Every structure is written in structure tokens, then in C-alpha cells.
Structure 1
Amino acid sequence: MARRDFRLPAADEAFLDSLGVAWDAVQEGGVQWTILRQYRLPPGYMPEQVDVAIQISAGYPDAALDMAFFLPHIRRVDGRPIPATDGRVAVLGAAWQQWSRHRTGANPWIPGEDDLASHVHYMDAWLAAEFERVR
């Protein structure tokens, strides 16, 4: 049963419904989280599916969404380390793996244009780009 402690903008809820995965809107300790259940990762990661938590910033949708958190923790199938994933954040009693990925001046959050859908697409892009980095 989906948990809906708060409502997201209608366009966000429609986007989440279109993904074909279960999702929750959880409020815990005054912090709002959207959790995508059994989200499929691009090839090259283990496990192939994870839960993804995205913190809904105070002031969203004008305020930017940032980072993503994964459970179980993700690793590369080739065993190479993934930088900036050492942080752990407690959500729903579990330690989620923090991927510290942020918007930049070249790719800023644009209020009125960016939303949960663009953040998930941004997340998908940096998950895929992990395998394109020069070592």
C-alpha cells in the first residue's frame, strides 16, 4: 500500500505514476521524501533495482531538488569505486547511500521549468555518466 503523508504537485504525481514503479511520499522528522520502489538502474550496477529516496526541499518547486539516496547501496559490477557516495542518510530506519551530485552553474535549477521529473532524468543521466568518466 502506497504511503502518502503529503501531496506533490499534480504534474509530479502524474510523472511518478507514469514510471511504472510504486512510490511513496513520506514525511519523517519534518523532512519530506519521495521514494521510488524497485527503480531499475542502467546496466553496470548491482543490484539491478533499488529504492531511490529524493528529499523534497522546503520551498519546492521553487527550491531545487538535490542528490539521490539508494537502498540497498549501489556498486559497480566491475568493482571500481564510485566517488562521492560515502555519505549515509537515515530514512525509515535504514542507512541509505548518498550520491552527492549537484546542479552546477552550467546546469542550474530553473524554477517553473525544473521539477521532480527533470530531477529524476538528471539522476538517470549521472548514473549513466558514471561509466563515461576518465579514470
Structure 2
Amino acid sequence: MTFLPHDDVEFLSSKALIYELKDVGGQRGIVFPGLSFEGNLYCTNEQSQLVRCVSCDVLIRIPSGYATTKLDSFYTSPVLRRPDNSFPNCATGEETHFGRQWQFWSRHLDNSDWRPDIDGLHTFLNYVWNELRRA
């Protein structure tokens, strides 16, 4: 089962990225379990202590009409925080998708940042990594 364009499938294969496609009730997404990132973000461990986080699950929802329709925002699990325990900008909400709670990162590419039929997951994943690094 794939609803991704061929170029995205080739990109994921060439980078050996682990992913899960989700298609439930008309909602589609791709989950990257344990996606590594650079940055200074923290999460809460089982003892409710804030610990440095170097990987998380990332969800990107795939809209109807993708890849001519741009990707928009992303989600992480667990909830990520800054070293002072504050939330990153525009990442304070939580939503349920595909039976899981996700931290919502409200991010919006400008129309000039998305070129239909040229940009794809390779573009958006770089955007996600940059946002996690800068948070």
C-alpha cells in the first residue's frame, strides 16, 4: 500500500529511512519512528524527569492532492520541550492521530517554499530537521 508519489518512495529507500504509512478513515500520514535529530530539546522520562532527547517519532500528515498540495506542519511524540521546560514556539498543542497523542508543531511553508511536483518529503523532512534543531 502506498499513496506516496514514486519520487518520495525512491527518496525514502535511498536514505534507508524507516517509516510507516497510515491510512485510516480518509486520513493519511507517514510516521518516522525514532527519527534522530540534532538540537537542544528535552522530553520527560518514566520518572517525570526532563532528559535530553535526540530522537522522537515524527508524523507528517499527507493531504488530499499531495504532491501538488504542499505539506504543512508536523507532529512529534513524545512531547518535546526546551531545557527550561518551556515549549518551542507554536508547539504547545497536542492532538490525537492514528490512535496516538502527538505534539502539534504549527509550521507553514510559504507558497514560494513549495514547488508542486518538484518538492516532496525530501524537502519537508529537511524543514522538520531544521525546525527541531532551531527549537
Cα distance between partner residues in 1 of 2:15 and 2:81: 23
Task: Give the one of 48, 52, 59 matched to 1:53.
Answer: 59
Whether the aligned pair in 1 keeps the contact of 2:67 and 2:117 (CA below 8 Å) is: yes
Deviations along 1:86-128, one digit per CA (max 9) or x if unpaired, are 22221221110000011125x4321022111101111112222
Instruction: Using CA pairs under 8 Å that are at least 6 residues apart, name the structure with larger relative contact order, 1 or 2.
Output: 2
* Structure 1 unpaired stretches of 5+: 131-135
Aligned to 1:133: none
What TM-score do the two structures reach when normalised by structure 2? 0.82
- Give the TM-score taking structure 1 as reference length: 0.82
Aligned to 1:119: 124
C-alpha separation between the residues in 2 aligned to 1:60 and 1:86? 26
* Secondary structure in 1 matching 2:96: strand
Q: In the aligned structure 2, how far is the partner of 1:10 from the partner of 1:116?
A: 11
Provide the rounded CA distance (Å) in 1 between the counterparts of 2:82 and 2:129: 15
What is the aligned counterpart of 2:107 among 86, 96, 101? 101
Q: 2:33 aligns with which of 37, 44, 49?
A: 37
Paired position in structure 1 for 2:90: 84
Aligned partners of 1:35 and 1:52 also within 8 Å? yes
CA contact (8 A) 1:52 1:70 kept: yes
Secondary structure class of the residue paired with 1:25: strand
Unaligned 5+ segments in structure 2 are 43-52
Higher strand share: 2
Q: Identity percentage over the alignment?
A: 27
Deviation larger for 55-64 or 69-78: 69-78
